[in-house]
Amino acid sequence: MISAALALVGALVYGSADFVGGVAARRLRSIVVTAVAAASGLVALAIAQLIVGGAWMGSDIAWGILAGGVGVVAVALLYACLAIGPMSILSPLTAVVSAIAPMLWGLLVKGDALAPIGYAGLGIALIAVVLVGFIPGEKIVRPRARGLLMAVGAGLAIGAFLIVIDQTADASGLVPLVSSRATSVVVTAVVIGVLVLAAVRRGRPAGSVIEVAGPPLGATPTGHADLEHAAAPTAVRVTRVQAWWLAISCGITDAAANALMLVALRAGDLSIVSALTALYPAGTILLAALVLRERVAAVQWVGLALALVAGGMLAVA
């Protein structure tokens, strides 16, 4: 029961991080938001690790580095598929695949055994993922095969992050997350460095890489994204200074969600945690309704209701 509750709360916190990062990405380039979020999250996790303690074992550090690399792949594939579109199809597809991949791993490889109500809860959770991730107002067009493949790849990468982190030892504390986030910091710093060099060679100031360029999609270091609200018009005005603080807040919030996810994995089954974690868009749409006064579509309310039902069923599984 505690595992399902932590996973569901973690999903809401993930969604909150996505929302904050998406708003920051209206003023700052997405890769900059990702880099700042990775750095602030690393600091938060390092401080938390000092408090909770944990053994620094080479295997857990290696798993963390691998998870960080997988997260970078997830971000890259996510940006690529969303640039192709349509979001209304590729967004739910990514979320569903990110749930199914570790769910199958848990059931078929790890041998997770659930009561019949648990299997029913997994099915309802997948339906909820699709409905909650629905983007109202998006024009429905047939997606390209390339976009579909990239969306599936992004979902598999997000799911792989959970599978990899699940391999770490309980005694390691937050060490795997610290090494994972450090990897994200290094990779995003290198990408920004390359962008700066390219800008300077073209005669543009180095600071030009900070401004929004391309699809205004906010992302967190683990590959989640605020697909709807980052690009949507809103009465909320964000200054550059506010955008920096929002990016920092995104990283800290995302780090908290990672910690909740890790505790949930160690307390319960991978299949259950993955299904509930994929409901992260719920936190985003709820914050959008509260902060931006955006209307929540009826189908999304149905998805939220089903998410609660699935969470209850999985809690007693």
Residue 217: pLDDT above 60? Answer: no
DSSP-derived secondary structure letter, 238: -
Tokens for 167, please give them. 């391999």
How far apart CA 253 and CA 78 sit, in angstroms, is 20
pTM value is 0.84
How far apart CA 166 and CA 314 sit, in angstroms, is 19
The lowest-confidence range among 8-17, 73-82, 190-199, 298-307 is 73-82
pLDDT tens digits along 116-137: 888 888 888 888 888 877 666 6
**Domain locations in the chain as residue ranges:** 2-315
CB-CB neighbours of 307 under 10 Å: 26
pLDDT tens digits along 141-170: 667 788 788 888 888 988 899 999 999 999
**pLDDT confidence of residue 136:** 63
**pLDDT confidence of residue 230:** 45
How far apart CA 262 and CA 257 sit, in angstroms, is 9
| Per-chain mean pLDDT for the chain | 81
